[in-house]
Amino acid sequence: MTRIRKSGGYRQLASFQTATIIYDATVWFCEKFVDSRSRTVDQMVQAARSGRQNIAEGSRAGATSSQTELRLVNVARSSLEELLLDFEDYLRHRHLTQWEPDSPEAWAVRKVAFVKKKDRSDRSVQTDRDRSDQSDQADLTRLKDHQRWQLYSPWLEHPDPAVRANAVICIIHQANFLLDQQLDTLEQLFINEGGYSEQLARARLNKRAEARVPNTDGSVTPQTPPQAPPLCPYCGALMALRTAKAGRNAGGQFWGCTGYPKCNGTAEV
DSSP helix/strand/coil, 220: strand
Residue 172 has pLDDT above 80, yes or no: yes
Identify whether residues 23 and 119 lie together within a single domain.
Answer: yes
**Chain centre to alpha carbon of residue 116:** 24
Does the residue 135 lie in any domain? Answer: yes
Instruction: Say if CB 84 and CB 169 are below 8 A apart.
Output: yes
Identify whether residues 68 and 148 lie together within a single domain.
Answer: yes
Identify whether residues 185 and 240 lie together within a single domain.
Answer: no
- Mean pLDDT (the chain) is 80
pLDDT at 5: 56
Question: Is the pTM for the entire model greater than 0.75?
Answer: no
Number of folded domains that form the chain: 2
User: What integer is the mean pLDDT of 96-115?
Assistant: 92
Does the residue 157 lie in any domain? Answer: yes
Identify whether residues 241 and 131 lie together within a single domain.
Answer: no
Identify whether residues 192 and 242 lie together within a single domain.
Answer: no
User: What integer is the mean pLDDT of 250-259?
Assistant: 80
Instruction: Say if CB 255 and CB 228 are below 8 A apart.
Output: yes
Q: What is the largest CA-CA distance in the chain?
A: 90
More confident residue, 114 or 213: 114
> How far from 156 is each of 15, 96, 122, 163, 256, CA to CA, in Å?
18, 17, 29, 8, 59
Does the residue 117 lie in any domain? Answer: yes
Identify whether residues 60 and 111 lie together within a single domain.
Answer: yes
User: What integer is the mean pLDDT of 48-57?
Assistant: 96
pLDDT tier at 116 (50, 70, 90 boundaries)? very low
Identify whether residues 107 and 172 lie together within a single domain.
Answer: yes
Q: Which domain holds residue 126?
A: 10-196
Identify whether residues 183 and 80 lie together within a single domain.
Answer: yes
Does the residue 218 lie in any domain? Answer: no
Does the residue 147 lie in any domain? Answer: yes
Identify whether residues 78 and 185 lie together within a single domain.
Answer: yes
Tens digits of residue pLDDT in 118-141: 433 333 333 333 433 444 444 677
Which residues, listed in sequence order, are joined to residue 222 by a DSSP beta bridge?
212
Does the residue 215 lie in any domain? Answer: no
Does the residue 213 lie in any domain? Answer: no
More confident residue, 102 or 207: 102
pLDDT at 165: 98
Identify whether residues 146 and 190 lie together within a single domain.
Answer: yes
